[in-house]
Chain A
Amino acid sequence: MTALLSLSGLTVDIPVAAGTLHALRGVTLDVREGEVFAIVGESGCGKSLTAAAILGLLPDSATLRAERMTWDSQDMTRMSRRQRMAMSGPQISAIFQDPLTALNPILSVGEQMTEGFLAHRLGSRSQARARAAELLEAVGVTPAERRMAQFPHELSGGLRQRVMIAMSLMCHPRLVVADEPTTALDVTTQVEILRLLQDRQKEAGLSLVLITHDLGVVAHIADRVAVMYAGEVVEQGSVAQVVGSPAHPYTRALLDCLPDLGQPERKLTPIPGVVPALTGDLTGCAFRNRCPHAHAACAGGIPWHRADTGQGYRCVLAPTSEEAA
């Protein structure tokens, strides 16, 4: 299958008071045409920065390097700011966690939905309004005509997020990057929003990069997933592989500390310790101060194991070893 977006060895450094923050350390992943690709991990592991790198929205102070960063086989690192701007909308669009900060408070829903469409000269004003109305109806923001006259603060959180989804689809993008699109919503609304995303993704055949810290969301909507820890991808593969039979000790630890509905007696195993600071020299496995299997070799170079099935993980433990099973 063809990769629409391909990242290899993506590194992002940000200068901070304590020196240089190595926020992304060699992120490698491919997003294929038409798939839902999830990026999962705990707070601060680099999920949003990966999204920002894809969207061309890194902070000005950040330095990006990559062995490969391609969009439809074109080198993204060589694109000018203008070229990136031109991509935003018709090629790649974004949905953020908090639609209230992402939406413009002084523009009506109709105005902000049509803004990008008109700026990219994709049609006339009436065509823009017709497309906006059609998308709002499709995501359940009804009656669309009345909703288009409303302002963001007049809508509930769930409705705002639906507006964001409709807006992200205005220019027929090929990839939508959704950063925690349901984290602020209640579980019922979450399911409704995920279904909308999934329906639109299937109908329009677009690709979706879904960023979340919730393995339950990943299990239900993603095709493939990358697990991030301390700025690196530590495991990657199909959802059935990674969530169903995780190979990396960190992925397993994450699943072991999740409470399960219907199993209130199951003992949770918290992960001891904290994520290491990402400043200064970083060598060896970043999980080794918390890993139950850590040993001397974990301070050295860590190989990336790749199985025939496509599941891969970064750890010194061999796929066949007792502990990794």
Chain B
Amino acid sequence: MSDPVVLSASEVSVSFRQRQGLFRPPQMIPAVRDVSFEVAQGEVFGIVGESGSGKSTMAKMILRLLRPDAGRLTLAGQPMATIAPYRFARLVQPVFQDPYSSLNPRRSLREIIEMPAAVAGDLAPAERQDRARELFTRVGLPMRLFEAYPNQISGGQRQRVAIARALMTRPRVLICDEPTSALDVSVQAQILDLFEELRAQFALTYVFISHNLAVVERIADRVGVMYRGQMVEQGPAQQIFGAPSHPYTRMLLASALPPQPGRPLPVINRDFDSAPAQP
């Protein structure tokens, strides 16, 4: 890779403790197992995979919302755990799926957007507000909504607010977990355009998690495929979508339903998996 690595995961694992009822001892459920990948500066790394395969858990570890049980995570060459909070806020920021619940309903849009800069602590209040204004316009929101509250705007507008908030500290990496999944397709197209523009303008790196394969194919340079806690395949987007090698990836791609009439439902063959788990 020619560009420097900005984010790396090396054999990262984490388990959750799951209670089994009152009298049985809790069981450890592995959610992410030995996952390794590198993301270069300016790259979009897409993560796809089945529900419950550990994608969001991986995102939480990158955001330090969850500590891995084993393995190493580094950000800008530094072990993740050793980065001071204010510096961390300037390196990485999240954009989550649900623009309804991820914004504090009691704060104005201006306050919401300024918040990460307060955590990073590097701007005077006046500068903070200037930057918030600039980003507000940049993500396509009309200034008349600057002092409005989350319940006064649409879902697409809320996701724009979440993106503006994430850009407030001028981070190098955005961790996007299903950022367009709660949006209508017409709004999704607008937000995807916005991601592309911002990437060029701010030299951003994205980790982009989505169930929507066509969206990931469109935005990602490289893609990792997760299945049952493991990253079973990773490579350039063209290779993953054009010539997938893992049977799970092939099954996943075969499951996409393009909006073209006259085709039967695809046949799903889970035979490659010798031990189908059904909780």
Name A residues whose Cβ lies closer than 8 Å to a Cβ of B: 42-43, 142, 154-159, 185-192, 194-195, 198, 213-221, 239-240, 243-244, 253-255, 257-262, 264, 268-271, 274
Task: Note all chain B residues with C-beta closer than 8 A to A264.
Answer: 214, 217-218, 237, 241
Whether B259 and A188, one on each chain, are in contact in the complex, defined by CB atoms closer than 8 angstroms, is no
List of 3 A-B pairs having minimum Cβ-Cβ separation, nearest first: A216-B257, A271-B186, A259-B214
Cα of A268 to Cα of B219 in the assembled complex, Å: 12
If A220-B257, A244-B261, A264-B218 are given as contacts, then 6 extra A-B residue pairs at C-beta distance below 8 Å, sorted by A number, are A43-B155, A186-B50, A189-B51, A254-B185, A257-B185, A257-B186
Q: Measured between C-beta atoms, what is the minimum distance from B268 to chain A in Å?
A: 5
A186–B270 Cα distance when bound, in Å, is 14
- Establish whether residues A219 and B50, one from each chain, have CB atoms under 8 Å apart when the complex forms: no
Which residues 244-278 of B have a CB within 8 angstroms of A?
251-253, 255-266, 268, 278
Evaluate contact between A157 and B51: CB separation under 8 angstroms: yes
Contact with A along B183-227 (1 / 0, CB 8 A): 011111110110000000000000000011111011000000000
B259 touches A258 (CB 8 A): yes
Q: Say yes or no: is B25 at the interface (Cβ < 8 Å to chain A).
A: no
Q: Is the CB of A188 within 8 A of B263?
A: no
The 15 listed contacts between A and B (C-beta, < 8 Å) are A154-B279, A156-B278, A156-B279, A157-B51, A158-B51, A187-B211, A188-B251, A191-B257, A216-B257, A219-B262, A220-B257, A220-B265, A239-B261, A262-B241, A270-B190
Contact across chains for A219 and B261 when beta carbons are under 8 A apart: yes
Cβ–Cβ < 8 Å partners of A261 in chain B:
213-214, 217, 241, 253, 256, 258
Contact (Cβ within 8 A) A188 B217: no
Contact A191 B265 (CB under 8 A): yes
Please tell me the size bucket of the interface on B: 35 or more
Nearest neighbor of B219 in chain A, beta-carbon distance:
A264
Partner of A188, one of B186, B252, B258: B252
| B152 interface residue per 8 A CB criterion | no
Knowing A216-B258, A221-B265 are in contact, say whether A159-B279 is a contact too (CB < 8 A).
yes
B255 and A190 form a contact (CB under 8 A): yes
Q: Is B52 an interface residue (CB 8 A)?
A: yes
Q: How distant is the Cα of A233 from the Cα of B134 in the complex, in angstroms?
A: 40
User: Does B102 interact with chain A (Cβ within 8 Å)?
Assistant: no
Q: Is B154 an interface residue (CB 8 A)?
A: yes
Taken together as a complex, chains A and B put the C-alpha atoms of A154 and B52 apart, in Å, by 15
Closest to A261 in B: B214
Cα of A188 to Cα of B217 in the assembled complex, Å: 17
The interface residues of chain A lying within 8 Å CB-to-CB of B237 are 264
A156–B260 alpha-carbon span in the complex (Å): 30
Closest partner residue, chain B, to A190 (CB atom): B255
Contact A213 B184 (CB under 8 A): yes
Q: Given A159-B279, A190-B255, does the pair A243, B184 have CB atoms closer than 8 Å?
A: no
CA distance in complex: A260, B190 (Å) = 15
Considering the complex, which residues of chain B in the window 139-163 have a beta carbon less than 8 Å from any beta carbon of chain A?
154-156
Q: Contacts A219-B257, A264-B217 hold; do A269 and B154 have CB atoms under 8 A apart?
A: no
* Given known contacts A187-B211, A194-B265, A268 and B189 CB-to-CB distance under 8 angstroms: yes
Judge whether A42 and B185 touch: CB under 8 Å.
yes
A231 to B268, CA, bound (A): 36
Residue of B154, B188, B259 with most partner-chain A CB within 10 A: B259
Nearest-Cβ distance from residue A239 to partner chain B, whole angstroms: 5
Residue of A nearest to B266 (CB): A191
Smallest CB separation, A171 vs chain B (Å): 26
Asked if A159 and B155 make an inter-chain contact with CB atoms under 8 angstroms apart, the answer reads no
Complexed CA–CA distance, A244 and B258 (Å):
12
Chain A residues contacting B185 (CB-CB under 8 Å) are 42, 213, 254, 257-258
* CB <8 Å contact, B256 and A216: yes
> B239: shortest Cβ distance to chain A, in Å?
13
Assembly CA distance A16 to B239 (angstroms): 52
Q: Max chain A CB contacts within 10 Å: which of B214, B237, B263, B266?
A: B214
Complex interface: chain B residues within 8 A of A43 (CB): 155, 184
Q: Tell me, in angstroms, the Cα distance from A261 to B249 when the chains sit together.
A: 14
> Which among A198, A259, A270 is the interface contact of B186 at CB below 8 angstroms?
A270
